[in-house]
Each structure stands twice: as C-alpha cells, then as structure tokens.
Amino acid sequence: MSDSRAALLRTGLTLAGLRLAGGVAAFAATPIIARRFGLDPALDSFYIASSIPFVLSSIALIGGLETAVPPIFRQFSLTTEATDENGWGFVNALWPPALAGALVAASVSFVLMPALLPCIAPGLDATRQSVAVSMARALLLAPIIAAPVGVWRGALIAKHKLIGPAALVATGSAVYFAIVALAPAALGAWTLVAATLAAGLTGLAGLLIVFPRALTARLRPTLNLRHPALPTALALLAPLALNELVYHADIVIMRGYASQVSAGTVAAYEFATRPLGALITLLLAGIVAPAFPELARTARDLPAFRATLNRTLKIMIAAALPLAVGLALLSGPVVRLLYERGRFTAEDAALVSAALAALTPYFFLTALAQPLAYATYARQQPLWTLAASAAGLAFSAVGGYFLSRQFGLLGIAIGDGLGAVPLAGVLLWWRWRNTMD
C-alpha cells in the first residue's frame, strides 16, 4: 500500500471513529425521544419547524460553504507561508459576507414564517401551526451560527486538518444527547430546539477556543468585496446552495405529505429515516470527506482524479450495499430494538419498520451518489449535481404525492426511493462523460 493510500485509510478510520462516536451519541437520543413522545403530534410541530432552518444551515455547512472553500483556498494557498496567507486572506474576505447573508436570510424567514409553514405542512391544525412557527423562529439561530463555521471548517479541510472539526461535531452530538436525556419533561418538544441550538453553539465555541493557532489567529474579518477569489467562490457557491435547496426540499416536501396523512405521521417518517441518515453521515465522514481534499488536489490531473474517485466509489459500494440489504431484511427487529418502549407502541413499530424497509433502496443510491457529488464539486462542475438533485426531487415529489394518498407513510417512503434513481443515474452519467478517456 502506497503512503498516500495508507494515510487516506488512517484518516478515514479516524474520522469514521469520531463520526461513529458522535453518531452514536446523537442517535442514542432518538430512542429517548421515541420513549418519551412516541408518535405524539407535538413532534410533528418540531420537525416541520426545523425544515427551513435545516435547509439554511445545510447551505452554510457541508453542502455549501464548507464544500466551496477547499478548492478555491488551495488555488490561493500552495506550499509557502506567503501563499498560505493568500488563502487566509480569501477566508477573511468570505466569512463576513457569508454571515451577513445568513442574517438576512434568517431575518426574512423570521418575518415570513407564519405564512411559510402552512404552505409546507397544510395538514397541521392551527394549534400545532402556532407552536411550529415559534419553534422555527428560535431555530433560525442555527444558520447564523453555521455561516462562519462553514467557511472556517472549509479552510481547515483544505489544509487537511480533518480530525479537529470532526471531533467538534462529535462533541456537539454529545451535548445534544445530554440535553435530550437530562431535560425536564415539562419542556416537551422544546427540548429538541434547545438541544439543536446547543450543538451548533458547541461547534462555534470549539472553533474559536480549541483551534487558536490553526484558525482564529488568522481570523481577521475584512470587508473586501473586490477580493479576486470572491467571484469564483460565488460562482461555485450559487449552484451549491441551489443544490442543497433542491436536495433538502425533498425532506421538506415529504414532511408536508406526511402532515396530511394523520397526526403523528411526520414523526413516524422521521423515526424511519433516522437510522439511514445516521449511516449516510457516517459513510460521508469516513469515506467521502477524507477523499475530498485529494479529489480537489487532483481535479486537473484526470488519471489521478479518476483513480481516487473509483477507489472511493468501490469503498462506498462495499460498505453501503450490505447495510442496505441488512436493513431491508431486519427492519422490524431494528425498529423494535431501537424504539419500542415507553410511549412508542408495537403498532408504531410496525408502521415505522415498513417505511424503513421501503427506504433502503433510497439509502443505497443516495450513499452511492455522495462521492460523485463531491467529485463534481472538486472539478468545479456543481451544476451536474444540481441537475441530478432536481431530477430526483421531481420524481420523489410526484411519486410521493400520488402514493401517499393511496398508501400513506409507506407511499411516501416509496416515493423517496423513486427520487434516488435519477439522482444516482445523472451523476453516474457525469462520471462516464467527464472522467473517462
């Protein structure tokens, strides 16, 4: 094994270990939520409320700023201290307008929230709509936190400092778990609002306190809208942001469909998707994230780029396929083991396990699409991923709409799976057209 492959493997294993620890801590909160609430309609209000803040936060973090920064940082920061300072100059010119943009988006969303949420989830009654609006407004603090964090973490990733940010994510997950586990029952679903915001604040505080030499010593905000890297960053970030909007719109739309099935169906959909989301996050951190700097570095060296991408795809398939098959065959025991206690009944478990089994094709195809999406970002061709996500959204939205009316939650899960087919298909076509000789 070459030194680069050995280093990639070590980094991947370390990141996977950290993500596993953080994922276990965050996911361990889900059975507590299930035991405490079951399929209580109060959870519907929280998950609907989190939709817009979640999309905005995703644009600011992994799918947006954190992904846009590394390729551009590397163009301005090569090997010497002088060029390294050029890279940090780009970062210092980017994060203040990113923060200002998040503040504007959060402010507009805050004002429009009473009109937006009824459009997202028309099935919620007036009482739950009112609660959801209050929760959503509080959760808008999350994207404001995420904007500078996304830029700073992107700079660290560009400099191959992957372990520290992953450790902070794991710490934030532990904080989330602690709040969910220890909060008094009187807080109700507001416990989840507090836990979500506390996890974000932990990541921000960690970057400012734990990494003073690697990061904060160079954080000198500059209002330099003429910095030569900003047009390039904007050109890359705009389609990335649109891609995140389209990609996560699927979740928002499915929650809206679930709100029209029956009370508690939004919560049931979330409980079905949580194991899959946790696994995709683990695969992303352990397999794709360590490979992304190498993909960015070799973006103009087609043979090396192709070798890194093919290796990453093989590892992803080897990991995701048996997980998908296992979940499809064992969805019932998995759901009962995770959730069936307290207020989460056997009837709830049967509903959720059927949806989980139906979602496993979606899980595999989405996992397969992740290395390909990041490869398009590395080659600064994000419009391909945007097109793939748009096609996937169209399929899942139409399929989920009709199937949910016939089959309820199971129809929503099948509709999600339909959307993953064009998502993976378009990106595989990009790989064939753009990385083959």
What does the alpha-carbon distance between residue 412 and residue 392 come to, in Å, rounded to a whole number?
Answer: 14
Listed as own residue / partner, the contacts of 390-393 with beta carbons closer than 8 Å and 24 or more positions apart are 390/246, 391/422, 391/423, 391/425, 391/426, 392/247, 392/250, 392/419, 392/420, 392/421, 392/422, 392/423, 393/246, 393/247, 393/249, 393/250, 393/253, 393/419
Residue given tokens 């994207």 in the structure block: 143
Identify the pLDDT of residue 234.
Answer: 76
Cβ neighbours for 89, distance < 8 A, ≥ 6 positions apart: 76, 222, 224, 227
Tell me if the pTM is above 0.85: no
Cβ neighbours for 181, distance < 8 A, ≥ 6 positions apart: 29, 32
Read off φ and ψ for residue 345, nearest 5 degrees: -90, 175
Identify the pLDDT of residue 26.
Answer: 77
CB 189 within 8 A of CB 135: yes
Identify the pLDDT of residue 186.
Answer: 86
Cβ neighbours for 195, distance < 8 A, ≥ 6 positions apart: 29, 175, 176, 177, 179, 180, 183
Alpha helix ranges (H) inside 121-211: 126-139, 141-158, 163-182, 190-210
Per-residue pLDDT of the chain (437 residues; tens, 9 = 90+): 455 555 555 655 665 666 667 777 777 889 999 999 999 888 999 999 998 998 888 877 655 677 777 777 777 665 444 455 667 778 888 888 888 888 999 999 999 999 999 988 988 888 889 999 999 999 999 999 988 888 888 777 777 777 777 788 888 888 999 999 999 988 889 999 999 999 989 988 888 876 666 565 566 777 777 777 778 777 777 777 777 787 778 888 999 999 998 888 999 999 999 899 888 877 877 788 778 878 888 888 888 888 888 899 999 999 999 999 999 999 999 999 999 999 999 999 999 999 999 999 999 999 999 999 888 888 878 888 888 988 999 999 999 999 998 899 999 999 988 889 999 999 999 988 876 55
Identify the pLDDT of residue 12.
Answer: 54
Question: How far, rounded to the nearest angstrom, does the alpha carbon of residue 335 sit from its chain's CA centroid?
Answer: 23
Plot region of 188 (φ>0 → left; ψ -120 to 50 → alpha; else → beta): left
Identify the pLDDT of residue 10.
Answer: 61
